[in-house]
Structure 1
Amino acid sequence: MNEESKVTAENEEIKDENTEEMNETVNEEASEDVQVEDNNDIAKKISELEAKAEEAENRYLRLYADFENYKRRVQLDKEASQKYRAQGLISNLLPAIDNFERAMQIEPNNEQTKALLEGVQMVYRAIIDALKQEGAEQIEAVGKEFDPHLHQAVMQANDSEYESNIVVEEFQKGYILKDRVIRPSMVKVNQ
């Protein structure tokens, strides 16, 4: 081989080495770019998944809180319905009790009427005792200060014997069941 062919062969060899090195460098850089792109995609997906997980956890916590509130409301409703179970019956009995009270106001003029009145009073007391056993009581009105939650003023009086805003007369008895007013007392109030 002559000198020129040797140099050409060496040049070719150097070219091939340089080309190989350049290809390796380009491949490495391309690989790094792909890895960087892959890392960016992975990071983006991770952040999306974290956001979705956080949203799902928040939704779960809201649903859990709603369910706990629902259970508490149901329990309170159950307790209230148990506590006031007799309210409907008592409300239906009040007109009959009013009639008993009116019947007891008559003046007996003979023995038969007295006996009948005593029977009516016994039945009336039995009904009132049954109401008390269920937690219902009559609202005290006469001589008490007017309370709009317990009394319904239907008339006003100007009586010097009573102070202002005091109940002077009761026209219809009011009833309260535990802490709930079933029917307010109808009263006359002093100015």
Structure 2
Amino acid sequence: MSKEQSMQTENETEVMEEQQDAQAAEEMKQDINAEVGAEQVSQESAEQLQERVAALTAQSEDYMQRLARSQADFDNFRKRTIREKEELGKYASSKLISELLPIVDNFGRALDTRPEVEGSESFVKGVEMIYRQFENVLQAEGLTAMETVGQPFNPEFHQAVMQVESDEHEEGIVVEELQKGYMLKDKVLRPAMVKVSG
């Protein structure tokens, strides 16, 4: 074998080795890419799974908060309904009693202007008894008359219709009651009409 043939064979062998090395490197590169790709796919799957779990957890917490708010709203509604029912029962007679107050006023006026006629005493006593009986029925329902004269003026309980100068009382004191005020249990049924010192 000549030197040239030997060199050519060596060159061919080198080329073949280089090609084999290149092919092996390419295969190695493909294997590495495949492994990295699989790892990335599994990593992406894990990240997607974590994101899905986080989204579902947030949604679950949102539903729990909504449920808690709904339960609280229902609880408040139930309590308010019970309170309104109790209040309705407590003040059920307020409309009727309000309509009876002018009659109570007229009874009082009638008794203030008793006739000084002979033989009228038994009639006046009868009217007084009816008036007391009427007052007792209203008091049993929770009606009480306000004490106003000498008290400081309070717009929640008093309706001032006049302001007068007074040497006896300091400013802002009720000096005269023109119409009685009434409370029904703990609620003002009718404010008292009063004169106030100025």
**Shorter chain as normaliser: what TM range?**
0.7 to 0.9
Percent identity over paired residues: 39
Distance 1:79 1:187 in 2: 33
Q: Which runs of 5+ in 2 are unaligned?
A: 1-8
Q: Which runs of 5+ in 1 are unaligned?
A: none
Distance 2:43 2:32 in 1: 16
> In the alignment, which residue of structure 1 is the partner of 2:179?
172
Distance 1:27 1:185 in 2: 96
Shift of 1:72: 2.3
Distance 1:107 1:130 in 2: 24
> What one-letter code is carried by the residue in structure 2 that aligns with 1:45?
R
> What one-letter code is carried by the residue in structure 1 that aligns with 2:92?
R
> In the alignment, which residue of structure 2 is the partner of 1:120?
127
Q: Give the TM-score normalised by structure 1.
A: 0.80
Q: 2:38 aligns with which of 31, 36, 52?
A: 31
> In the alignment, which residue of structure 2 is the partner of 1:51?
58
Taking structure 1 as reference, are residues 22 and 118 closer, same or farther at Cα in structure 2, changes over 3 Å only? same
Greater C-alpha radius of gyration: 2
Say if 2:176 is the partner of 1:160. Answer: no
Give the 3-state SS of the residue equivalent to 1:154 in structure 2.
Answer: strand
> In the alignment, which residue of structure 1 is the partner of 2:76?
69
Q: Give the TM-score normalised by structure 2.
A: 0.78
Shift of 1:172: 0.8
Q: Are the aligned partners of 2:97 and 2:138 in contact in 1 as well (CA < 8 Å)?
A: yes
> In the alignment, which residue of structure 2 is the partner of 1:187?
194
1:138-181 deviation line (CA, Å, top 9, x unaligned): 00112322222211111222232333332222111110112211
Q: How large is the RMSD of aligned CA atoms in angstroms? A: 2.7
> In the alignment, which residue of structure 1 is the partner of 2:138?
131
Aligned residues: 183
